[in-house]
Structure 1
Amino acid sequence: MRIRLERRTGILFAVSLLLLLGLFARAFLLQVVQGSSLASQARGQQQDIIEVPGLRGSILDRNGQPLAGSEPGATIYATPYQIKNPPQEARRVAKALESDPGDVLDAITQPGGFSYVQRKVDLKKAGAVEKLGLEGIGQVPDTLRVRPQGDIASQVIGAVSDEGEGLTGIEAGKNGVLKGVNGERRLVKDALGDPIRLDNVRDAEDGKSVQLTLDATIQAEAEKILAEIGANSNPVNASAIVMDARTSDVLAMANWPPVNLDDLGEADPKDLLNVGTSYTYEPGSTFKAITVASALEAGTVTPTSTFTLAPSIQIYDRVIEEGHARGTVTLDVGDILAQSSNVGAVTIGLEMGGRKFSQWIDNFGFGQPTGIDYPGEEQGIVLPYSDWSGST
Structure 2
Amino acid sequence: MENQIFELQYALDTFMFLICGALVMWMAAGFTLLESGLVRAKNTVEILTKNVALYSIACIMYMVCGYYFMYGGGFFLSGIEAFNLEEVLAASAENGFDGDSVYSGASDFFFQVVFVATAMSIVSGAVAERMKLWSFLIFAVVLTGFIYPMEGGWTWGGNDVFGMFNLGDKGFSDFAGSGIVHMAGAAAALSGVLLLGPRLGKYGKDGKAKAIPGANLPLATLGTFVLWMGWFGFNGGSVLKLGDAASAHSMAMVFLNTNGAAAGGLIAALLTSHILWGRADLTMALNGALAGLVAITAEPSTPTALQATLFGAAGGVLVVFSILALDKLKIDDPVGAISVHGTVGLLGLLLVPLTNDGASYGGQLLGAFTIFTWVFVTSFIVWFVLKLVMGIRVSEEEEYEGLDVGECGIEAYPEFKSA
User: Which bracket does the TM-score occupy, shorter chain normalised?
Assistant: under 0.3
TM-score under structure 1 normalisation?
A: 0.21
More helix by share: 2
Higher strand share: 1
- Choose 1 or 2 for highest CA Rg: 1
Which protein, 1 or 2, shows the higher relative CO under an 8 Å CA cutoff with sep ≥ 6?
Answer: 2
The TM-score, its normalising length taken from structure 2, stands at: 0.20
